[in-house]
Amino acid sequence: MDPLKKSRLEGGALPVLYLASASPRRRELLELAGIPFVCEPSRCEETARGTPQDVVEENARRKGEWVYARHPEAVVLSADTVVYLPGEDRILGKPADALDAADMLRALSGRENRVYTGVAVLGPKGCTVKCECASVWFDALSEADIAAYVATGEPMDKAGAYALQGRGGTYISRVEGSVSCVIGLPMTLVRAMLRPYLGCP
């Protein structure tokens, strides 16, 4: 049931949280945390300029502002994630096609990458934007591994062309930092940012 309708039936205060994302992973993380929300993806123009932290923080802010402009009475949560290759100073977003995905996976093979997720919360108290980073180590991938993984279609809508929570996780040897950050929404940070508005535990 829509959280807004459920709240009206129960006679409680209206939930005010909008998630400015179409990502099923972010929706699942909020649902697992028991945080009621309404999903409204942002259609803002995103940027790819700056450091990884600059990029994800600016994009998270832009996404949140797009939705908040339409729901100024609400609280809006937005996020953006990129994968960064420190040795090459290269930011990996979502692959453009299968060839691009395969190229990203070759670059990730046998080495560390860093996942940056920016989070923005907008509401009556203003706009707060923060970033969290986690490190991920990949096993060495053969061309057969890469071709088989790309053929599943899983890499196509993922930053860095992999999903830790999916088949991509079978190629990962180690993670340092928040697993939910790698998935796309660092939940410890999110709870802290939402607490002033929603009293999240």
pLDDT value of residue 11: 41
Other Cβ atoms less than 10 A from the Cβ of 73: the count is: 9
Interval 59-118: pLDDT, tens = 999 999 999 999 999 999 999 999 999 989 999 989 999 999 999 999 999 999 999 999
For residue 158, pLDDT over 90 is answered with: yes
pLDDT band at 198 (very low <50, low <70, confident <90, very high): confident
- Answer yes or no: 80 catalytic: yes
CA dist 157 and 159 (Å) reads 7
Question: Parallel, antiparallel, or unpaired for β 17-19 and 172-176?
Answer: unpaired
Give the model confidence (pLDDT) of 34-44 as tens digits. Answer: 999 999 999 99
Model confidence pTM above 0.85: yes
Q: How confident is the model at residue 9 (pLDDT cuts 50, 70, 90)?
A: very low
| Spatial CA neighbour of 137 closest among 166, 175, 100, 104 | 175
List 80, 97, 103, 145, catalytic entry: 80
The candidate with the shortest Cα–Cα distance to 167, out of 158, 177, 178, 176, is 158
Q: What is the pLDDT of residue 13?
A: 61
Phi, psi at 94, each rounded to 5°: -80, 140
Q: Name, in order, each residue with C-beta under 8 angstroms of 17's C-beta and a sequence gap of 6 or more.
A: 35, 36, 37, 38, 74, 75, 76, 77, 194, 197, 198
Q: Which domains does the chain have, with CATH numbers?
A: 3-198 (3.90.950.10)
